[in-house]
Amino acid sequence: MLAVLERWADSTHGYFEVMVDDGRRFVLRYQPTLRCWELAAVFAAKPRKPAAKPVTTAAPRKFFFSLLQK
């Protein structure tokens, strides 16, 4: 963890927005009565685009292809 960016509280929890070394940010929620930490949110440094899938032509399946050859 590099830094606590922000913190706030409501009646039952404390919230901490933190940043880690790769730029991701997390919101941690602490419930003092139970001494319990929870991960409340995750934010990526930059939106990630899904990797492009290569386009391939569909080849006939061997079973059906053998039926067509007869």
For residues 41 and 53, what is the distance between their CA atoms, to the nearest angstrom? 29
pTM score: 0.62
- Show me where the domains of the chain are located: 1-46
Q: How deeply is 26 buried, as exposed, middle or buried, from its count of CB atoms within 10 A (0-12, 13-18, 19+)?
A: middle
pLDDT for res 26: 95
* Cα 54 → chain centroid: 24
pLDDT in tens, 12-26: 999 999 999 888 899
Task: Categorize the per-residue pLDDT at 50 as very low, low, confident or very high, splitting at 50, 70 and 90.
Answer: confident
pLDDT in tens, 56-65: 776 666 665 5
Q: Bigger pLDDT: 5 or 45?
A: 5
